[in-house]
Amino acid sequence: MSVALQHACCTTAEYLDMEAESSVKHEYLAGEVYAMPGASERHNRIALNVAYRFRTAARGGPCGVYISDMKLRIQTQSSFYYPDVMLTCQADDDPPLYKTAPCIVVEVLSPSTAAIDRREKWPGVCRTLVVDSENLPQRGHFLPDSLPHGCSMGQEAGEKWAAAAGLQPTIPKTDRLLAYRNIASLTAYLLIDAEQRRVEFFQRDEAGAWRQGVLEAEEILQLNCGALTIPLSLDDLYEDVRFAG
């Protein structure tokens, strides 16, 4: 997931051309591009565990499983993301460089990106830029866990930090441009913590309402995508993942 703003960029077509030639992946938000950080071993193991479960369920059928090199385009908001894992089942969702209609999106959270994944892609708690005004002029430094998940320092501190760094703020402060819940095909969105065994999920019910929960130790989460039903547990998601201590 993205952390630091690189520069004001281009049209979506120019972004796609640029990304095809770039050695670094970037996410695109309404004309601006954000460089993506690398991922830890735990992050990779968790993403592969998810992709394995999805691929096992989807084998031989019309659904496709995509990992972090496939972009997700949110057309109504002029943006492109690189989710850690996506599952799509719509036959007409066939652009080769991105997908537009996933039914399940999964993000693996790192300490520096957890606020973005909760706040920007699933708005609802806090909506301002997270910065460290005590350590100017460093780039996108996310605050420690003492803040509520998804919350930030506020607009004034963000503007001070950005001005000192000579940058625009990395995330629009009051208007979240990206919201996965605006994707009509989406039935589930998972946030998997890479620092502890904790999974937060959002699921759309048959009436179209969203419910939010945290996957418990002995719970089986049933995910649905087209004709597929995929059961997931914490043991499935954290298989062979080792934590310090």
Residue 7: its pLDDT value, please?
57
Residue 138 lies in a domain: no
Residue 197 lies in a domain: yes
Residue 22 lies in a domain: no
As a whole number of angstroms, the longest Cα–Cα distance in the chain is 54
Q: Give the DSSP letter of residue 145.
A: T
Domain count, the chain: 1
In angstroms, the CA 118 to CA 200 distance is 10
And the tokens for 206? Answer: 């048959």
And the tokens for 89? Answer: 């089942």
Residue span of the structural domain in which 228 resides? 39-123+176-237
Are the C-beta atoms of residues 82 and 73 closer than 8 Å to each other? Answer: no
Residue 160 lies in a domain: no
Residue 115 lies in a domain: yes
Residue 72 lies in a domain: yes
Residue 145: its pLDDT value, please?
31
Radius of gyration, CA atoms only, the chain: 18
* DSSP line for 51-95: HHHHHHHHTTSS-EEEETTSEEEEGGGTEEE--SEEEE--TT---
Cβ-Cβ contacts under 8 Å for 197 (sequence gap 6 or more): 234, 238, 243
Residue 121: its pLDDT value, please?
58
Give me the CATH number covering residue 213.
Answer: 3.90.1570.10
Is the preceding omega at residue 137 within 30 degrees of 0, hence cis? yes
Low-confidence residues of the chain, pLDDT below 70? 1-8, 111-179, 245
In angstroms, the CA 174 to CA 241 distance is 37
In angstroms, the CA 162 to CA 183 distance is 31
Are the C-beta atoms of residues 34 and 170 closer than 8 Å to each other? Answer: yes
Residue 242 lies in a domain: no
Per-residue pLDDT reduced to its tens digit, 105-160: 999 987 655 545 554 555 443 333 333 334 433 333 332 333 333 333 344 444 44
Residue 32: its pLDDT value, please?
86
Per-residue pLDDT reduced to its tens digit, 197-209: 999 999 999 898 9
Residue 62 lies in a domain: yes
Q: How many CB atoms are closer than 10 A to CB 181?
A: 14
Residue 133: its pLDDT value, please?
39
